[in-house]
Amino acid sequence: MAIRTFREHTPKVGPRAFVDRSAVVIGDVEIGADSSVWPLTVVRGDMHRIRIGARTSVQDGSVLHITHAGPFNPDGFPLIIGDEVTIGHKVMLHGCTLGNRILVGMGSTVMDGAIVEDEVIIGAGSLVPPGKRLVSGYLYMGSPVKQVRLLNDQEHAFFAYSAGNYVKLKDQHLAEGYDQAE
């Protein structure tokens, strides 16, 4: 795995977390316990902080970045991701905040300053525009996203199932040594 220090910030990888050896994690990044970062993912905390909670899975080919502080945004936006979040393949998260127990569908983009509350599903290929707030308990879809409907009991149960499933899978990958350099 490529864990890179940048400007005196070295990423911190929590206990039992898995970072695939083809992923790149740079700078002011913290990855929580039992979380996983899968192949060809970039987590770039070079100009602001990135925090990934526990039991969270970042799928293949995703890009996680921040919004730097500057003249157009004096404080910038860190990237904050809660616990038991499943981030689908090829997702772009940029300077946004995600709560706990969220599914971000494959190929989705969540932009600067957006806030996704707990227990939300974002459908595949969706765009969450800058500054948008997605309230808890709903399915959102589209580009830009629109609130589609309340989540049902099965969907609420899926969050913990998905998190647990990826914890088991990352443990298998750790046992095989796929977090080690070749």
What is the rounded CA–CA span in Å between residue 41 and residue 112?
19
So what's the pLDDT on residue 1?
Answer: 54
* 158 within a domain of the structure (yes/no): yes
- Which H or E run contains 173? helix 153-176
* 182 within a domain of the structure (yes/no): no
**Higher model confidence: residue 134 or residue 176?**
134
So what's the pLDDT on residue 38?
Answer: 97
* 65 within a domain of the structure (yes/no): yes
Average confidence (pLDDT) over 67-91 = 96
Average confidence (pLDDT) over 107-116 = 98
Please state, rounded to an integer, the average pLDDT across all residues of the chain: 96
Q: Based on the number of CB atoms within 10 Å of its own CB, is 49 exposed (0-12), middle (13-18) or buried (19 or more)?
A: middle
Domain that holds residue 46: 2-176
- Our count of domains for the chain comes to 1
Cis-peptide, bond into residue 11, ω within 30° of zero: no
* 163 within a domain of the structure (yes/no): yes
What is the rounded CA–CA span in Å between residue 134 and residue 118?
9
Bridge partners for 110 per DSSP:
93, 128
Q: What is the pLDDT of residues 129-157, one digit of tens each?
A: 999 999 999 999 999 999 999 999 999 99
CATH for 152: 2.160.10.10
What is the rounded CA–CA span in Å between residue 118 and residue 132?
14
